[in-house]
Structure 1
Amino acid sequence: MRSLLVIIDGLGDDPIPEWNGLTPFQYAEHKNMDELIRLGAYSEVSICEDDFIPESLSCILRLLGVQQQDFPTNRAYLELLAHDRDISEYEMVLRCNLVSVDENDMLVSFNGQGLSAKDMAEAAKACNEFWQGIEFMHLSMYRNLLILDKDRRILDNCVIPPPHESMGENINLLLREIKQQSLLLRHFIEGTGKKLERFNHGDIRYMLYPWGPSERKSLPDFQALHGLKGAAVCEAEIVRGIAKGLQLTAPKIAGATADIDTDIAAKAAVTLNLLNENDFVLTHFNGADEAAHRYDYQGKAEFISAIDKEFLEKIINNVREPLRIVICGDHVTSSRSGKHNKNVGPVIAAQLNTAAIPVKINNYQDILTFLMRASDMRG
C-alpha cells in the first residue's frame, strides 16, 4: 500500500470574526475532504507541539520522520540546495527578504508589499552587483539569499528576529545586532538601501533584511530512514530543499508556484504519476500560508476549496490501488495576525481502495505510524 502526505502549508488558522468565528478551513467548501473524513478520521493536532517555534522547516522534517537532532538550525542552506547550489564548510548562507519600512522606521511588510512581481525582480537586479565578500542570489519575488565566508559570531550568537514575525517593530532595533557583529553586512544593508530608493513611494521605503544564517548540513536519506522509495511535488524553495536533502525525487512542474496561483491540476497529474513509481509521495501547497501572511482569509479559504476540487477529486477518482492519505498543515498561520503559531490544525487521515480500518490521529507520531509502515506498503 502506498502513502500520500498532502501538506497545505499554514492550513490551520484563528477564528475569523467576519465569519462568525469560522476558520478559513471551516468556511471553505471541501466535499472530497469530507468524504475522506467519512472514510477515515478527522482530528486537530499541533505538529510543533512545544518543542520548537512554528515554522515550516522543522514541522515538515518532523512530518517526514527526521529526528530533531538532525534538523538544520535555519533554512537558508536548504533553500540554496533547492536551486542546485551548495556551499563549502567554510561558508554560510543567509535568507534576505525585500522588506518595506515606514517614515517612523517601523517594519511594514516582510514581502515587498506595494511592489509588483516585476518591480521586485527589478529591485533584486538593482542589488545584484559585485559586493566584496558577498554573493547575492535572487530566488523569487521578495526572496533572496546571501552567501559569504562563515562567521561564527553570526551563526552562534547573533539574534536576528524573523521579519514575518516582527511587523510593526523598529527596523533599526531588529537589525542592530547583525550590523554590530558584521561590518560587511552593515555596508551591504546600507548600500542596497540606497540602490532601492527609486522604488520608494510616499512614506514607504524598501530595504534588504538578512536573517536566518545557516551552514552546510546533511539530512538522512529518506529511503534509508523508512525503507520507502519517495518523491515530492513542491515548488516552495524550503520544501524543494528538504526533498533534495532527503534524496526524494522532486520534478520541476510547469505552472507550479509557491502561492495561490499555482497550477493545482498539474500538481495532481504529477502526483498520480509519482504514486505509480514510489511508495511515498509528499505534495505540498504553499499558497494558504502566503495568503494568511497577507491577512487574506478569503483567498486562503478559496485556495483550500480549489485544492479539494482540482487536486483531491482527481486523486480519489484516479487512484486504483490501496492508498493511505493524510491531509494536514505544518503549522497554523493566522490570517488575523499574519503570523505562525503553535495552535492545533486540521488533520484528515483515510485509506482508499481497501477495507476501512479504524484510524486515530492524536499527535504527529500517529501520522508517521499511519504513513510510514514499510512492511505492508506493497501489500
Structure 2
Amino acid sequence: MIEVKYIVLLGDGMADWPLDELGGKTPLQVAHKPNMDTLAKRSLMGMVKTVPDGMPAGSDVANLSVFGFNPREVYTGRSPLEAVSMGIRLSDDDIALRCNLVTLSDTAAYQDATMLDYSAGEITTEEASELIQAIAQALNREGLSFYPGVSYRHCLVWNKGPLDLELTPPHDISGKPIREYLPKGKGSEVLLDLMVKSRDILKNHPVNIRRMKKGLNPATSIWLWGQGKRPAIPLFIEKYGLCGAVISAVDLIRGIGKASGMHTVEVPGATGNIHTNFKGKAMAALDELKSGRDLVYIHVEAPDECGHQGLVQEKIRSIELIDREVLGTLLDGLEGSGDYSILILPDHPTPIAIRTHCSDPVPFMIYRSGNPVVDENAVYTEAYASGKDLLIEKGYTLMDMFLGNR
C-alpha cells in the first residue's frame, strides 16, 4: 500500500466579496499567488459550505467542518475549545466564555461607549497576561475564574453559569455603539457587572499607560462572549485512522486539535496576525510529516484579522505570504519525498465590506502529487471555483473526499 502524506492549508477568512477599489475583484483574485495557481491547474476545485444553516458563521463551526466533524453533533460553543488549548479542565457544571481585551471609547457611562478595537491594538500576550492577572485578582470569586490566553483572547470559567445568554462577538460591532449589544438573558447582569468593573481596573494600569505613550490602543475593558460547555469531539485517529498534528497560533484551532487527540505544535514567532512566522509554520509541518505524522493541519489567521480590520492591501499581502512562505516552502520540502495531497481553502469568508464573517460557501482545491494538468486556465479564486459546478453542501464530508474515503 502506497503511503500518502496529507496537508490541510487553511487561510482563515481568506475568501471575500468583489471590491470596487479592486476593480470588482476580490483579494484572492488580485493577490500574486503563483504556487496556488499552478496547483489549481492540476487540482479538483469547487465550493464547500462549511457553516450549516442556522449555525454561527464563526471559525469554531467552520473549522470543525474542515476537520471532518459535524458541527451539529459536536459543537458546544467557541470558548470551551479555547479552554482545552489553555489546559483548563472544565467540569460538567462549568461554562467557558471568551474574554476579549478591547478598546472602548471613553464615556461617562459604560453603555454609551463605542467599540473602537476588538483586539486592543493586537495587544501582545505578555502585556495581556499582566492585565488579565489584574482582572483575576480583583474579580475572581467563588464560581468565577479568569485565565490568560494569547494576545487579546482569554477565558472566563463560570461554574453553574447559564448557557441561555445573548452575547455578541466584539469583531461584529467594530465602530458601533455597544448599548444594543450588551449581555442579555438570564445571568447577564453578572457579566455586565464584570465588564463595567474591568474598565476601572484597566484604566490606569501601567501596561495601558505605556501603550498610550507609544501611540497604541489601550485595553480599556473586557468583553465576554462565545459561551459553551465542555466539548465532546471524536478522536481523529479513530475516525480516520490517521495520526495528525495541528499548527496554529490561536487557542481555538489548537483546542480542536487537542480535543480530537491530535498533536499540537508551538511555532516560535507565530502570532495570529500578518506579522506571524509564516515560513516557520511550513517548516514545522514538514518536520511533523518526517517524524511520522500522516496529516498536518496548518491554520493561518492573518487574512481573517485583516478582514476584520478592513485592511485591503494587508489582506492581499497576507494571501501572498501564505502562497510564498507557507505553500512554497511546503512544495520545496515535499519534492522527492513520496506521494502527498494538499487541501487548500478558507474556513469562511471575512469580507472587507462588512469586517466580519459570513456563511457563504468557500473555494477549495485538492491537489494530489503527480496529478496531470486538468485545466490550463484554472486559478485559485472564488469566481473560478464557483464556476466548476461542484458544491459540497455538508462541509464535514470534505475531509472524507480529501482522504479518498468517498
Does TM, normalized by the shorter one, top 0.5?
A: yes
Whether 2:245 is the aligned partner of 1:236: answer no
The 1:40/1:237 distance shift into structure 2, 3 A limit, reads same
Contact 1:106 1:168 in 2 (8 A): yes
Contact 1:4 1:371 in 2 (8 A): no
Contact 1:41 1:361 in 2 (8 A): no
Answer with 191-200 or 278-287: which moved more: 191-200
CA-to-aligned-CA distance 1:233-256 (integer Å, 9 cap, x gap): 112110000000010111212222
Whether 2:257 is the aligned partner of 1:250: answer no
The 1:176/1:184 distance shift into structure 2, 3 A limit, reads closer
Contact 2:245 2:264 in 1 (8 A): yes
Distance across 2 between alignment mates of 1:253 and 1:297: 27
Instruction: Please report how far the alpha carbon of residue 356 of structure 1 lies from its aligned counterpart in structure 2 after TM superposition.
Output: 6.8
Q: Which residue of 1 aligns with 2:362?
A: 345
Counterpart code for 2:224: P
Whether 2:141 is the aligned partner of 1:132: answer yes
The 1:196/1:36 distance shift into structure 2, 3 A limit, reads same
Instruction: Please report how far the alpha carbon of residue 218 of structure 1 lies from its aligned counterpart in structure 2 after TM superposition.
Output: 1.8
Whether 2:32 is the aligned partner of 1:29: answer yes
Q: Which residue of 2 aligns with 1:39?
A: 42
Q: Which residue of 1 aligns with 2:72?
A: 69
Distance across 1 between alignment mates of 2:226 and 2:369: 41
Contact 1:2 1:280 in 2 (8 A): yes
Counterpart code for 1:235: A
The 1:267/1:116 distance shift into structure 2, 3 A limit, reads closer
Contact 1:361 1:367 in 2 (8 A): no
Instruction: Please report how far the alpha carbon of residue 99 of structure 1 lies from its aligned counterpart in structure 2 after TM superposition.
Output: 2.1
SS in 2 for 1:325: strand
Number of residues paired by the alignment?
A: 371
SS in 1 for 2:264: coil
Whether 2:288 is the aligned partner of 1:274: answer yes
Q: Which residue of 1 aligns with 2:383?
A: none
Q: Which residue of 1 aligns with 2:201?
A: 195
Superposition pairs of residues 82-93 of structure 1, within 5 angstroms:
82-93=85-96
The 1:58/1:137 distance shift into structure 2, 3 A limit, reads same
Contact 1:93 1:147 in 2 (8 A): yes
Instruction: Please report how far the alpha carbon of residue 268 of structure 1 lies from its aligned counterpart in structure 2 after TM superposition.
Output: 1.0
The 1:127/1:321 distance shift into structure 2, 3 A limit, reads same
SS in 2 for 1:247: coil
Instruction: Please report how far the alpha carbon of residue 367 of structure 1 lies from its aligned counterpart in structure 2 after TM superposition.
Output: 2.9
Structure 1 unaligned regions, length at least 5:
none
Instruction: Please report how far the alpha carbon of residue 329 of structure 1 lies from its aligned counterpart in structure 2 after TM superposition.
Output: 0.3
Distance across 2 between alignment mates of 1:115 and 1:235: 14
Structure 2 unaligned regions, length at least 5:
376-387
Find the partner of 2:53 among 30, 40, 50.
Answer: 50
Q: Which residue of 2 aligns with 1:162?
A: 169
Answer with 115-124 or 46-55: which moved more: 115-124
Q: Which residue of 1 aligns with 2:391?
A: 362
SS in 2 for 1:250: strand
Counterpart code for 1:372: L
Identity %: 24
CA-to-aligned-CA distance 1:197-217 (integer Å, 9 cap, x gap): 224989998221111211212
Instruction: Please report how far the alpha carbon of residue 357 of structure 1 lies from its aligned counterpart in structure 2 after TM superposition.
Output: 8.0
Answer with 200-209 or 305-314: which moved more: 200-209
Distance across 2 between alignment mates of 1:233 and 1:118: 21
Root-mean-square deviation (CA), in Å?
2.8
Contact 2:92 2:230 in 1 (8 A): yes
Contact 1:48 1:342 in 2 (8 A): yes
Instruction: Please report how far the alpha carbon of residue 114 of structure 1 lies from its aligned counterpart in structure 2 after TM superposition.
Output: 8.8
Distance across 1 between alignment mates of 2:389 and 2:30: 24
